[in-house]
A and B are shown apart, each in its own frame.
Chain A
Amino acid sequence: NAGVTQTPKFRILKIGQSMTLQCTQDMNHNYMYWYRQDPGMGLKLIYYSVGAGITDKGEVPNGYNVSRSTTEDFPLRLELAAPSQTSVYFCASSPQGGGGELFFGEGSRLTVL
Chain B
Amino acid sequence: QKEVEQNSGPLSVPEGAIASLNCTYSDRGSQSFFWYRQYSGKSPELIMSIYSNGDKEDGRFTAQLNKASQYVSLLIRDSQPSDSATYLCADYGGSQGNLIFGKGTKLSVKP
Contacts and interface: CB of A to CB of B under 8 A. Distances in A.
Contacts, number: 50
Contact of B97 (A41, A48, A90): A48
A14 to B, nearest CB: 25
B100 to A, nearest CB: 8
B96 interface: yes
| Interface size range of chain A in the complex | 20 to 34
Interface stretch (A16-24, A68-76, A79-87, A94-102): A94-102
Interface string B47-80: 0010000000000000000000000000000000
A50 B96 CA distance: 7
B42 interface: yes
B103 A41 contact: yes
B92 A56 contact: no
A105 B43 contact: yes
Interface of A: 31, 33, 40-45, 48, 50, 56, 58, 90, 94, 99-107
Given A44-B101, A99-B32, A101-B46, 4 more contacts: A31-B96, A42-B104, A45-B99, A99-B92
